[in-house]
Structure 1
Amino acid sequence: MVVVFVVIDVVVLAALVGLHYYAWRRLVRDTTAGPGPARRLGTVVFVAGPVLMCAALVAERAGAPFLLQRILAWPGFLWMAFSLYLVLALLVGEVVRPVLRRVLDRKAPVAAGPAPVPEMQPTPNSSHQSPEPAPNPSQQSPEPTPNSSHQSPEPPAHSASSPQDPTRRLLLARTMAAATTVVAAGVVGNGAYGVLRGPKVKRVTVPLARLPRAAHGFRIAVVSDIHLGPVLGRGFAERVVDTVNATQPDLIAVVGDLVDGSVADLAPAVAPLARLRARHGAYFVTGNHEYFSGADPWVAHVREIGLRPLENARVELGAFDLAGVNDVSGENYGAGPDYAKALGDRDPARAAVLLAHQPVMIHEAVKHGVDLQLSGHTHGGQLWPGNFIADAANPTLAGLERYGDTQLYVSRGAGAWGPPVRVGAPSDITVVELASKQA
């Protein structure tokens, strides 16, 4: 198993180096006439960027001092997103490049060739003029002159507008480099703005066959994947809390990946969650990132600030059962999900809503007769085209789907992991409104 991980790490590192070399060649080497300050500066950027990116990842996972994590996180994680879209834009540019070259060829002035030799007009023969003597066939023809009409002309030298001209090559390379850089920066900037302004509210109605009429219209605010840490801090948590409270839900479900860091470092950032307000309270289940950070201290801390953890547990609300299970990654820490403990011995006539961080847990939910599972984890892919990978790894990428008699709703999450950037997967806080079929 260790050998497999080593091989994967080597392949990923080789791909990382190769893609950065490709971007450096197109954006730095091809756009500079030769060694000089501009090329040296560009090379420094393409070395420092991936180094900061790797350092930010390692610092977070290794539990480096929080100040160091914050210093590395912004430039490192932003470079991660920027380099992704830079490479994608360059690959698109490889298709556009030949078209642009042809356009430049058409617009370039045609080089002037040698002036044509005027054709000699014969003079009219005078009556007293003797006719030209007929050529003697036996006489040897003179050597052809350089301007002889039967000699093939020398190929013209490349003009200043030919594709081989260094000035033309630089113009094409710089035009493509500027375009791809602007596109990548625009995509990342817009994606970062979408995260930092806070999640938008999404509303979904879910009918449940066993939900009594009295519970028709019961609203659950689903909050997942806030990812408070070295990038998203207290200010972001306040925006999330204000957005949730403004929906005036009956119940709040925080379904994992609340933090990326320790209680000691992030307790001030999490503090605003104490202001969450709902008639039936706020509940919490662990996600995989809680286990990276220390799940037990976090479970204890969220309980202190007013959230109720559901560690393989169930509560009977007036209209339905609300259950929660630990994340599947907890199995590596001896605290995995226990569906029998959370859902066993309950009244099968009552509707059951399960809080479970990862969508892959839906199959166990179906076996245990759950009516609705609420999950997060996928981020909706977060960075296109990562949605294709996330979709392949999860039964549902985002939204509502049915599995037998069980429905699964997956939120794209409120925050972001790694780069504070989302492309093609806007963040959300979802208000799930339960509907009774008896109403």
Structure 2
Amino acid sequence: MVIVFALVALAVLAAAAGLHWYLWRRLVRDTTAGPGRARRAGTAVFVAAPVLMVAALVSERAGAPFWLQRTLGWPGFLWMALLVYLLLAVLAGEVVRPLVRRFVERRRQPVPAVAVAVPAAAPQSEPPVEPVPSPEPEPAAPSRRLFVSRVVGAAAATAAVATVGQGTYGVLRGPRVKRVTVPLAKLPRAADGYRIAVVSDIHLGPVLGPGFAQKVVDTINATQPDLIAVVGDLVDGSVKDLGPAAAPLAQLSARHGAYFVTGNHEYFSGAEQWVEEVRRLGLHPLENARIELSGFDLAGVNDVQGESEGHGPDFTRALGDRDTARACVLLAHQPVQIHESVRHGVDLQLSGHTHGGQLWPGNFIAAAANPTVAGLEWYGDTQLYVSRGAGAWGPPTRVGAPSDITVVELRSTRA
């Protein structure tokens, strides 16, 4: 197993090195006339940035001192996002490069000289002409290849930086509220219009800290929900490091309280400690458990990652002895748990995990691994709603998958 892991790690590093070499060649070597200050600076970026990216990933997973994680996190994770869009932009540049070259060649074609006949003038004696000093030679214009490489490279870099900048701003400003109406046949009239604020994937960590948590809390409270559901991946780190960042969660306010289920990242961060911490903050963990509310049952199951610690999802324990005539809403972090929900007669499953793909075209990868990437879908008699999440993992950046907090309004078909 160790040998296989080492081989996979070497293959990933080799692929990353090849990718960076290709981008360096197109964006640095091909856009500079020769060895010099500009090429040295560009080369330094393409050496230091991947080192910071790998260091940020390793420090987070290895539980390095938190100050070091924060120091490496911003530059390392932002480069991860920038790398994606530099690659896409440079590949697009390969397509347009021949068109740019052809355009430049046409613009630089010399205009043929036209001979004009001038009548000969009678010879005249002229005073001697003083010699005129020759003008200073003008700097040689860059070659067509160099000029085209600079145009395409500058356009690619500008597009990538603008994309990542806009995507990062979208995350840091905080999630926007999305509203979804879900009809439930078993919901009694008295519970018609019941509102659940669903938040997932906040991912507090070295990059997103207490200020971001406060924005999430303020946005949720402003919706004045009846109940709050935190469906996993709250943190990326230990209680010791991130306890202060999670402290604003104590301000969550809803008529029937706030509930929490674990996500896969809780099991990378010390799930048992975080379950106790969120309980201390006033949230109610649902560890393969169920409560009866007025009008429907609310249940929660552990994330599938918990199986590695003997604390995986247990649908029988959470749902086995319930009154199936009552509507049931289940909190489960990963959408793949929908199939068990269908078998246990759940009416609505609320999930997160996918981030909606987070960085386009990551949505296609997410679609290959999850039954639903984002939004509301039917599976038999069970509905599944998947939130894109409030935060971001790794790069604090989203492209094509805006963050959200969803207010799910339950409607009775009997009303």
Same fold (TM over 0.5): yes
Q: What residue is the counterpart of 1:81 in the other structure?
A: 81
Cα distance, 1:228 vs. partner?
0.4
- Aligned residue identity for 1:228: L
TM-score, with normalisation over the residues of structure 2?
0.92
- Aligned residue identity for 1:28: V
- State the distance in 2 between where 1:42 and 1:371 align: 56
- State the distance in 1 between where 2:406 and 2:229 align: 10
**1:226 matches 2:202:** yes
Q: How does 1:128-143 map to 2 (within 5 A)?
A: none
Unaligned residue ranges in structure 2 (runs of 5+): 118-140
- State the distance in 1 between where 2:4 and 2:194 align: 48
Q: How does 1:32-431 map to 2 (within 5 A)?
A: 32-110=32-110, 167-431=143-407
Residue 101 of structure 2 contacts residue 145 of structure 2 at CA under 8 Å; is this kept in 1?
A: no
Deviates more, 1:269-278 or 1:3-12: 3-12
- State the distance in 2 between where 1:14 and 1:267 align: 37
Q: What residue is the counterpart of 2:9 in the other structure?
A: 9
Cα distance, 1:9 vs. partner?
2.3
1:158-217 deviation per Cα after TM superposition (whole angstroms, max 9, x unaligned): xxxxxxx95222211111111111100000000001000000000000001111110000
- Aligned residue identity for 2:323: D
Cα distance, 1:6 vs. partner?
3.4
Cα distance, 1:83 vs. partner?
1.1
- State the distance in 2 between where 1:6 and 1:348 align: 50
- Aligned residue identity for 1:274: A
1:352-389 deviation per Cα after TM superposition (whole angstroms, max 9, x unaligned): 10000000000001111100000000000000011100
Q: What residue is the counterpart of 2:120 in the other structure?
A: none
- State the distance in 2 between where 1:407 and 1:231 align: 34
- Aligned residue identity for 1:286: T
Cα distance, 1:318 vs. partner?
1.1
Cα distance, 1:3 vs. partner?
4.4
- Aligned residue identity for 2:413: K
Cα distance, 1:4 vs. partner?
4.0
Q: What residue is the counterpart of 2:130 in the other structure?
A: none
Q: What residue is the counterpart of 2:124 in the other structure?
A: none
TM-score, with normalisation over the residues of structure 1?
0.87
Cα distance, 1:281 vs. partner?
0.2
Residue 105 of structure 2 contacts residue 144 of structure 2 at CA under 8 Å; is this kept in 1?
A: no
Task: Name the Cα RMSD after superposition.
Answer: 1.5
**1:26 matches 2:26:** yes
- State the distance in 2 between where 1:398 and 1:168 align: 47
Q: What residue is the counterpart of 1:122 in the other structure?
A: none
Q: What residue is the counterpart of 2:135 in the other structure?
A: none
1:280-319 deviation per Cα after TM superposition (whole angstroms, max 9, x unaligned): 0000000000000000000000000100000011000011
Residue 101 of structure 2 contacts residue 144 of structure 2 at CA under 8 Å; is this kept in 1?
A: no
- State the distance in 2 between where 1:112 and 1:53 align: 55
Residue 172 of structure 2 contacts residue 212 of structure 2 at CA under 8 Å; is this kept in 1?
A: yes
State the identity as a percent: 74
Cα distance, 1:112 vs. partner?
6.1
SS in structure 2 of the partner of residue 176 of structure 1: helix
Residue 174 of structure 2 contacts residue 212 of structure 2 at CA under 8 Å; is this kept in 1?
A: yes
- State the distance in 2 between where 1:397 and 1:175 align: 37
SS in structure 1 of the partner of residue 31 of structure 2: coil
- Aligned residue identity for 2:278: V
Cα distance, 1:7 vs. partner?
3.6
- State the distance in 1 between where 2:412 and 2:9 align: 51
SS in structure 1 of the partner of residue 177 of structure 2: strand
Residue 31 of structure 2 contacts residue 150 of structure 2 at CA under 8 Å; is this kept in 1?
A: yes
- Aligned residue identity for 1:312: N
Residue 175 of structure 2 contacts residue 405 of structure 2 at CA under 8 Å; is this kept in 1?
A: yes
- State the distance in 1 between where 2:227 and 2:142 align: 67
Q: Select the structure of larger CA radius of gyration.
A: 1
Cα distance, 1:34 vs. partner?
1.1
Q: How many residues align?
A: 391
- State the distance in 1 between where 2:204 and 2:396 align: 11
Deviates more, 1:167-176 or 1:392-401: 167-176
SS in structure 1 of the partner of residue 5 of structure 2: helix
- Aligned residue identity for 2:253: R
- State the distance in 2 between where 1:11 and 1:96 align: 31
